Structure 1
Amino acid sequence: MGHRQGLEERPGPPTSLDPELLEHIRECPCPCDHMGYGNYLDYQIPPCSGDLHAVTRETSFNAGPHHHQYHNVRDYRPHHPQYEYDSCSCSSASDTNRTTLRGPWCVCLVVCIVVATLTAGLGLPLAMNPPSEPLTQEQRLDLVRKLLKETPLIDGHNDLPWNLRKFVHNKLASLNLSAIGLEEPWAQSKWSQTDIPRMRAGLLGAQFWSAYVPCKAQHLDAVQITLEQIDVIKRLVEVNSRHLRLVHSAGEIRGVHREGMIASLIGVEGGHALGNSLAVLRTLYNLGARYLTITHSCDTPWATGQDTMTKEGLSDFGKTVIREMNRLGMIVDLSHASIHTAKAALNISNAPIIFSHSAAYSLCNTSRNVPDDILKLVAHNGGVVMVNFYAYHLACNVNATVADVVRHINHIRAVAGIEHVGIGAGYDGINMTPSGLEDVSRYPYLFAELLTDPEWSEEDIASLAGENFLRVFEKVEEVRDKWRLAEVLPLEEPGPRVDAGCVSSYS
C-alpha cells in the first residue's frame, strides 16, 4: 500500500481555509485530523523522495481506510524554516538543520489536548473517589486487631509478681489466673488489673514481669527477695503454660507470638537487687532476667535514684555495671533513675537503653518522667521510652484519661521520633489508671484512639506497639554477640563494701 493510497477519495482542504492553518495542515507531521480538515499525509507528497525504509506504516482497518498509524513519524517531517525537526530521514547525513516548532495552530491544538487531558484526569478521580468517611471506632478496633496479629504488643512493665507476694505469699497452688478478677482480695483491689482473660482481650503479645524489691530491703535480703520473685514468675508461667511462655530473646518473642501465646520476660526492678555484686548480676541474667532497672526511688552505693537532687550519677562501679550489662546482653532500664544517672548511663552504654515505664516530664513534672533533653539523648542512643499509665504521672492528678496517654505519646514522638516510644503501662503496680485504660484489656482502645489522628499510620502503630522495643532488644543482642566474638571477658571489679551489720567475714 503506497502512502498516497486513498487520497483520491478525499477532497483537499477548503480553499477558503485560513492560509496559515492551510499551510500548517500541509506541513504538520503529526497524525491528527485537524478538526476534520485532514493532515499532511493526506494532502502532501513527502518532500524527501527515495528510500523510506526508516519509516514503517501500519493501516488500522478498524478505523477506516484513511486512518494510518506511523512509527517514527518525525522521519516524514518536511524541512521548513518555521519549524524544528530532526533531519529528514532521506536527507544527507550532513543535514543537521534545526529550527523551532512554533506554529500557532499546533501550539493551540497541543494546549487544547493538554487541557482536555487534565480535565478528564483530575475530574474523573474526584468524581469516582470522593473524600473517604472517617473510620468508626469499631473499624479502627478491627484494624488494630489485624495489626497486633502481625506485630506483638509488648508491655515493658507489670507488677503482678509483687501482688502475688503481697496477696498469696507466692503460693500459686490455689491461684487461678483466669479467674482472679472475680476472687478476693483481687476483685476489690485497686492494684489488680491483670489476669488471663483480660490479657487475651487486650491482645497482649509479650509482657515484662517485674521482679521488684523494695528499697528497704537494700543491704539486707534484697538479693534473696529478687531470687524469690524470679522464681514466682517462672512458676506462674509454668502453671499457665496454655497461655504464657517464658522467653529470653527478641527472636523468641516473635516466634511465641506467631504461635498465639503471650511471651513472658523477666525484668529486675532496682539496682539494690545486685547487692553490689557483678556475680549476682550475671546470675540474674542466667536465670532469665533481660533488663535491670538501675535504681528505684532510692540511691544505691553506685547510682542515684529519681528522688536524689544531687549532681551525682554513676560511680566508677556503676559504669562497670553498665558495661557488664552490655557484655551480657541485658537491657539497661533508666525508669526511676536520676537525671544525672540517666545521662551517665546513656553516655556509657554501647547498646540502646529503655525507660520501661515512664512518661514526658514536660507534660507532668514528676521525677519519674523524662525531660526533653534526655528524650533527645534517648533518640541519639537508639533507645525507647515506654509510656506509663499511672494517672498521677500523666495528668499530675488522679483524673487522667486516654487523651492524656495520647498526649504523652505524641510529645515523646515529637521530641525523640516515632522510633523511640513504646508502651510500659505498669499495671498491678499502680492504683490510679486513666479513664478508658482501666486494665490490660484496654490496649486496643488506646491504639484505636491514636488512629483518629491522620498523623498516625498503621506502620506507626506497629512501631509503638512492639517493633521499637524489638529493635532495641535485637541491637542489645547484637552488641553482646560482637563482644563475645571479641572475647571480652567478664568484668571482675569488686563492688563497694557496705557494713550493714549483717554480713559475714567471707563477703
Structure 2
Amino acid sequence: MTDAVTEQALSIQPIVDGHNDLPIASKYKRDYSVEGLDAGVPDLHTDIPRLRAGGVGAQFWSLFVPSNTGEAEAVQATFEQIDFVHRLVARYPDTFTLARSSAQVRSAIADGKIASLLGIEGGYSLGSSPAILRIFAELGVKYVTLTHNSNTAWADSGTDSPHHHGLNELGRDFIRELNAAGVLVDLSHTSPETMHAALDISTAPVIFSHSGVRGVTDHPRNVPDDVLHRLPGNGGVLMLTFVPTFVSAEYARWFDGGREGKPPPAGIAEVADHVEYARNVVGIDHIGLGGDYDGYPVLADGLEDVSGYPRLLDELVRRGWTVDELVKLNGANLLRVLDKADASAELLQAAVPELSVRQRDGARRMSGKTVD
C-alpha cells in the first residue's frame, strides 16, 4: 500500500519525468505503432495503465538516434520520432496532450491528462545547424542533450575521448541559441569539461535529464561534485536516473565483468541514496527524476517499469522526507526551470537583435573558418 505522504505529494504534484525512450523502443519493437498502449504492452516499460499507476503527470519523451548515425540521417530520424509522439497524443487524446511550457503542463494535469514534452537526446540530431535547432524548437522540442555516448562535432561526451575541450566555438553558439529559443540545455551524457563550459555560458537554467551522482557511484555518466556545486547558482535541476550501472558500482562491475552469478543489489535503496546525496549537495530545489525507461534493458529492482515511482517515494518517506520535499522532487522544481528558461528567452529576444547569433554563425561558415 502506498504511504499516505506519497499519495498526498502525488496529488499535489504528479511526477514530471525527464527522460523516457518509448519512441525509439517503439521503433525497434513495434515499427513505431501507437496501438495497444491503453491495454498494456509487456515488452515495454511504458504503457498507459502503468503511467497512471506510477502517478505520472508529465513526460519528456526522448527523441533518440544512435550516435553512429550520420547527421543528415539523424535529423530525419528525429522528425520521425516527433511524428511518433504526435501520433501517440492524437491516438489517445483522453490521456495525452502536447505541452511546451509549465503552464501547459499544469493545465494538462488539471484536466487529468499526461503532458507530453519533447527532448532531443544527442546534439548530432541538430545537423550542426542552428536553423534546424530553431525548427525543432518551433515543433515543441524543450531540451537538447548535447551529446550521447560519442562526441558531436561541437561538444565532448563523457564516454568518448575529449576533442573540443568541452565545447568548441559552434558549441558555444549552440548554447546561446538554445537559451534564445527557450530550449533547455541538457548536460546528461556530457563530459565534466562540457558541463562546466555550458554552465559558464548559459543564461538559463540547465538540466541533467537522466544522471546519477559520482559521489555515490563513480561512473562517467554521473555528475561530479564540482559541477553539482554550481547548479544552485545556475538554477538548474539534476534529474536522478534508475539505470542499475549508474546507481551501483558493484552492479556495474558485475555487468562489465561477464555477468556471472546473481547480480549485486541495484534497487530502490540505491536510487534513494543518489537522490539523498544530490539533495544534500545541491539542495532540495535542484533535484528531480528521470528514469530512462525503455532506454535500458533492465531498470533498478522495484522500479522495473513506469509504475514504480510511488515505491521510490515511499522509500524516501521512510527516510524522513516530507510532502513539501517530495512535491519539489516530483516535478515542481522542473516546472520552475521551464518557467525561467522561457523568461530568459524572452529577455534575450528583447535585448539582442534577432539575427545576431545566426549572423555570426553564417559569417563564420562563409569565411570557411573552422569550428575548433
TM-score, normalised via structure 2 length:
0.90
SS of the counterpart of 2:285?
A: helix
- What corresponds to 1:426 in structure 2? 292
Q: Is the 8 A contact 1:327 1:488 kept in 2?
A: no
How many Å apart are 1:170 and its aligned residue? 1.8
1:415 counterpart letter in structure 2: V
- Of 375-384 and 485-494, deviating more is 485-494
Query: Identity over the aligned pairs, expressed in percent?
Result: 40
Select which of 319, 325, 347 maps to 1:453. Answer: 319
Select the structure of larger CA radius of gyration.
1
Listed one character per residue, the Cα deviations across residues 209-267 of structure 1 (whole Å, up to 9, x for unaligned) are 00101111133411101111111111111111111111110111111111111111000
2:287 counterpart letter in structure 1: V
Listed one character per residue, the Cα deviations across residues 51-90 of structure 1 (whole Å, up to 9, x for unaligned) are xxxxxxxxxxxxxxxxxxxxxxxxxxxxxxxxxxxxxxxx
How many Å apart are 1:496 and its aligned residue? 8.7
- What corresponds to 1:152 in structure 2? 14
Would you say 1:441 and 2:302 are equivalent positions?
no
Q: State how far apart, in whole Å, the 1-side matches of 2:206 and 2:212 are.
A: 15
Q: State how far apart, in whole Å, the 2-side matches of 1:489 and 1:374 are.
A: 31
How many Å apart are 1:494 and its aligned residue? 4.0
Q: State how far apart, in whole Å, the 2-side matches of 1:178 and 1:170 are.
A: 15
- What corresponds to 2:184 in structure 1? 331
Q: Is the 8 A contact 2:208 2:237 kept in 1?
A: yes
1:218 counterpart letter in structure 2: G
Select which of 201, 212, 218 maps to 2:53. Answer: 201
Q: CA RMSD in A?
A: 1.6
Would you say 1:217 and 2:48 are equivalent positions?
no
How many Å apart are 1:488 and its aligned residue? 3.5
Q: Is the 8 A contact 1:277 1:495 kept in 2?
A: no
2:144 counterpart letter in structure 1: L
Structure 1 gap segments, 5+ residues each: 1-137, 182-186, 498-507
- What corresponds to 2:334 in structure 1? 469
- What corresponds to 1:80 in structure 2? none
Q: Is the 8 A contact 2:268 2:303 kept in 1?
A: yes
Structure 2 gap segments, 5+ residues each: 252-262, 366-372
SS of the counterpart of 1:319?
A: helix
The 5 A counterparts of 1:103-502 are 138=1, 141-172=3-34, 175-181=35-41, 187=42, 189=43, 192-310=44-162, 312-396=165-249, 397=251, 398=263, 399-454=265-320, 456-490=321-355, 491-492=357-358, 493-494=361-362
Report which structure shows greater RCO (CA 8 Å, sep ≥6). 2
State how many pairs are aligned: 348
Q: Is the 8 A contact 2:118 2:142 kept in 1?
A: yes
2:201 counterpart letter in structure 1: I
2:87 counterpart letter in structure 1: R
1:473 counterpart letter in structure 2: L
The 5 A counterparts of 1:14-29 are none
How many Å apart are 1:458 and its aligned residue? 1.1
How many Å apart are 1:166 and its aligned residue? 0.7
Q: Is the 8 A contact 1:271 1:292 kept in 2?
A: yes
Q: State how far apart, in whole Å, the 1-side matches of 2:100 and 2:153 are.
A: 29
TM-score, normalised via structure 1 length:
0.67
SS of the counterpart of 2:119?
A: strand
Moved over 6 A (4+): none
Q: Is the 8 A contact 1:278 1:495 kept in 2?
A: no
